[in-house]
Amino acid sequence: MMERMFGIVLLIAAVFGAPFFFHSYSRAAEDPLPSWQDGPVKQGILDFVKGVTTKGGSDYVPPAERVATFDNDGTLWSEQPLYFQLQFALDRVKALAPEHPEWKEQEPFRAVLEGDKAALGKMGMEDLVALVSATHAGVTEAEFARIVKDWVTTAKHPRFNRLYGELTFAPMVELLDYLRANDFQVWICSGGGIDFMRAFVEEVYGVPPENVIGSSGKSHFELRDGRPVLVKDAGIANVNDKETKPVGISLHVGRRPVLAAGNSDGDLAMLQYTDDGEGPALMLLVHHDDAEREWAYDKESHIGRLDKALVEAKARGWSVVSMKNDWRRVYGFEAPCK
Amino acid sequence: MMERMFGIVLLIAAVFGAPFFFHSYSRAAEDPLPSWQDGPVKQGILDFVKGVTTKGGSDYVPPAERVATFDNDGTLWSEQPLYFQLQFALDRVKALAPEHPEWKEQEPFRAVLEGDKAALGKMGMEDLVALVSATHAGVTEAEFARIVKDWVTTAKHPRFNRLYGELTFAPMVELLDYLRANDFQVWICSGGGIDFMRAFVEEVYGVPPENVIGSSGKSHFELRDGRPVLVKDAGIANVNDKETKPVGISLHVGRRPVLAAGNSDGDLAMLQYTDDGEGPALMLLVHHDDAEREWAYDKESHIGRLDKALVEAKARGWSVVSMKNDWRRVYGFEAPCK
Pairing of the two strands A227-238 and A259-262: unpaired
What's the N-to-C CA distance of chain B in angstroms?
37
* Structural domain includes residue B146: no
pLDDT at A29: 57
Instruction: Collect all residues of chain B within an 8 Å Cβ-Cβ radius of residue A208.
Output: 64, 254
Q: Taking CB atoms and an 8 Å limit, are A269 and B212 in contact across chains?
A: no
Measured between CA atoms, the residue of chain A closest to residue B218 is A247
Mean of pLDDT values over B2-27: 40
CB neighbours of B164 closer than 8 A, spacing ≥ 6? B77, B84, B87, B151, B152, B155, B156, B157
pLDDT at A134: 79
Least confident of A159-173, B26-40, B308-322: B26-40
Of B187, B96, B203, nearest in space to B149 by CA: B203
B16 pLDDT above the threshold of 70? no
Q: What is the mean pLDDT of chain A?
A: 89
Q: Is B209 on the interface with A (CB under 8 A)?
A: yes
Its domain, for residue B35, covers: 31-79+157-326
Q: Is B228 on the interface with A (CB under 8 A)?
A: yes
Give the helix/strand (H/E) hosting B238: strand B227-238
pLDDT at A9: 38
pLDDT range class, residue A119, cuts 50, 70, 90 = confident
**Cα angle B11-B13-B19, degrees, rounded to a multiple of 5:** 170
Interface mutation target, options B183, B232, B241, B247, chain A, most CBs of A under 10 Å:
B247
Give this complex's ipTM: 0.87
Mean of pLDDT values over B17-36: 60
What are the tens digits of pLDDT across the range B131-153?
877 787 788 988 999 999 999 99
CA distance A31 to A330: 17
Residue of B194, B230, B246 with shortest CB distance to A221: B246
pLDDT at B125: 67
CATH classification at residue A265: 3.40.50.1000
pLDDT range class, residue B84, cuts 50, 70, 90 = very high
- The three-state secondary structure class of B327 is strand
CA distance A256 to A254: 7
Half-sphere exposure of A304 (CA within 13 A, CB side): 27
Of B82, B94, B67, B113, nearest in space to B252 by CA: B67
Q: Taking CB atoms and an 8 Å limit, are B250 and A230 in contact across chains?
A: yes
What are the tens digits of pLDDT across the range B95-117?
999 999 999 998 889 999 999 98
Q: Taking CB atoms and an 8 Å limit, are A269 and B221 in contact across chains?
A: yes
Rounded to a whole number, what is the distance in Å from the CA of A71 to chain B's nearest CA? 17
Measured between CA atoms, the residue of chain A closest to residue B202 is A64
B10 pLDDT above the threshold of 90? no
Long-range residue pairs from A60-65, CB within 8 A, at least 24 positions apart, any chain = A61/A258, A61/A279, A61/A280, A63/A183, A63/A184, A64/B208, A65/A255, A65/A258, A65/A279
- Residues A15/A17/A23/A26 CA torsion (nearest 10 deg): -170
- Note whether B56 and B11 are same-domain residues: no
A12 pLDDT above the threshold of 90? no
A18 pLDDT above the threshold of 50? no
Cβ burial of A322 (10 Å; 0-12, 13-18, 19+) is middle
Rounded to a whole number, what is the distance in Å from the CA of A271 to chain B's nearest CA? 10
CA distance A173 to A33: 9
* Structural domain includes residue A10: no
pLDDT at A26: 42
A20 pLDDT above the threshold of 80? no
pLDDT at A21: 37
Tell me if A262 sits within 8 A of A48, measured CB to CB: no
Of chain A, the percentage scoring pLDDT greater than 90 comes to 73
Q: Taking CB atoms and an 8 Å limit, are A244 and B221 in contact across chains?
A: yes
What are the tens digits of pLDDT across the range B230-257?
999 887 889 999 999 999 999 999 999 9
Interface mutation target, options A139, A219, A247, chain B, most CBs of B under 10 Å:
A247
| Interface A-B: count of C-beta contacts within 8 A | 83
Mean of pLDDT values over B14-24: 39
Q: Taking CB atoms and an 8 Å limit, are A254 and B220 in contact across chains?
A: no
What are the tens digits of pLDDT across the range A285-337?
999 999 999 999 999 998 899 999 999 999 999 999 999 999 999 999 998 88
A25 pLDDT above the threshold of 60? no
CA distance B153 to B237: 28
Q: What is the mean pLDDT of chain B?
A: 89
Least confident of A215-219, B265-269, B296-300: A215-219
* Structural domain includes residue A207: yes
CA distance A108 to B80: 53
* Structural domain includes residue A21: no
Q: Is A327 on the interface with B (CB under 8 A)?
A: no
How many whole angstroms from its chain centre is CA B38? Answer: 22
B25 pLDDT above the threshold of 50? no
CA distance B112 to B103: 9
A4 pLDDT above the threshold of 70? no
Least confident of A97-111, A187-201, A204-218: A97-111
Half-sphere exposure of B60 (CA within 13 A, CB side): 6
Cα dihedral sign, A215-A219-A221-A222: negative
* Structural domain includes residue B275: yes
Q: Is A215 on the interface with B (CB under 8 A)?
A: no
Residue of A212, A221, A247 with shortest CB distance to B273: A221
> How many domains is chain A partitioned into structurally?
1
* Structural domain includes residue B182: yes
Mean of pLDDT values over A85-107: 91
CA distance B173 to B191: 19
* Structural domain includes residue B203: yes
pLDDT range class, residue A125, cuts 50, 70, 90 = low
Rounded to a whole number, what is the distance in Å from the CA of B5 to chain A's nearest CA? 57
* Structural domain includes residue A25: no
CA distance A259 to A270: 10
Please count the other Cβ atoms lying within 10 Å of the Cβ belonging to residue A126: 12
How would you write B142-154 as a 3-class SS string?
A: HHHHHHHHHHHCC
Q: Taking CB atoms and an 8 Å limit, are B276 and A141 in contact across chains?
A: no
Interface of B with A in 47-76 (CB under 8 A): 64
Tell me if A258 sits within 8 A of A61, measured CB to CB: yes
Its pTM stands at: 0.88
Q: Taking CB atoms and an 8 Å limit, are A221 and B269 in contact across chains?
A: yes
Long-range residue pairs from A47-51, CB within 8 A, at least 24 positions apart, any chain = A48/A259, A48/A280, A48/A282, A49/A178, A49/A179, A49/A182, A51/A280
Rounded to a whole number, what is the distance in Å from the CA of A137 to chain B's nearest CA? 15
- Note whether B263 and B196 are same-domain residues: yes
Mean of pLDDT values over A261-278: 97
- What is the Cα Rg of chain B in Å? 23
Mean of pLDDT values over A24-53: 87
Residue of B212, B221, B243 with shortest CB distance to A246: B221
How would you write chain A as a 3-class SS string?
A: CHHHHHHHHHHHHHHHCHHHCCHHHHHHHCCCCCCECCCHHHHHHHHHHHHHHCCCCCCCCCHHHCEEEECCECCCECCCCCCHHHHHHHHHHHHHHHHCHHHHHCCCHHHHHHCCHHHHHCCCHHHHHHHHHHHHCCCEHHHHHHHHHHHHCCCEECCCCEEHHHCEEHHHHHHHHHHHHCCCEEEEEEEEEHHHHHCCHHHHHCCCHHHEEEEEEEEEEEEECCEEEEEEEEEEEECCCCCHHHHHHHHHCCCCCCEEEECCHHHHHHHHHHHCCCCCCEEEEEECECCCCCCECCCCCCCCCCCHHHHHHHHHCCEEEEHHHHECCCECCCCCCC
CA distance B123 to B129: 10
Instruction: Collect all residues of chain A within an 8 Å Cβ-Cβ radius of residue B244.
Output: 221
CB neighbours of A152 closer than 8 A, spacing ≥ 6? A163, A164, A165, A199, A200
Instruction: Collect all residues of chain A within an 8 Å Cβ-Cβ radius of residue B210.
Output: 185, 210, 252-255
Q: Taking CB atoms and an 8 Å limit, are A230 and B252 in contact across chains?
A: no
CA distance A269 to B70: 33
